[in-house]
Amino acid sequence: MDTDDDNQVPVSVVVAMFTRGGLSKESAVEAARVLDVNGDGDGDGDGDGTRDEYATAWLAFFLTDDPDAPASRILGTLS
């Protein structure tokens, strides 16, 4: 995802990855927002996140048992 090895991952790449994986555009944008831990990108394709932000968010996704935690929304909302 960090194609130029600058430690930045464009939100547009994250959204594309999730939509290609089957999430709706809305869910993919929400996932990108959640993965942007420090909140400097708004999920519309013009913000970047760092590798550390993504690793932190995914770790929280796998370790939390709180369905209301932001990381729980990475793959869409729970029903």
Predicted pLDDT at 74 = 83
Neighbouring residues of 25: CB distance < 8 A, sequence distance ≥ 6: 15, 19
Looking from the CA of 66 toward its CB, the CA atoms found within 13 Å total: 6
Predicted pLDDT at 44 = 43
- State pLDDT tens for residues 20-61: 989 899 888 888 887 776 666 544 444 577 888 888 888 988
- State pLDDT tens for residues 53-67: 888 888 988 998 888
> Maximum distance among all alpha carbons in the chain?
37
pTM: 0.69
| Token reading at 66 | 């709180």
* Confidence check: pLDDT of 18 > 50: yes
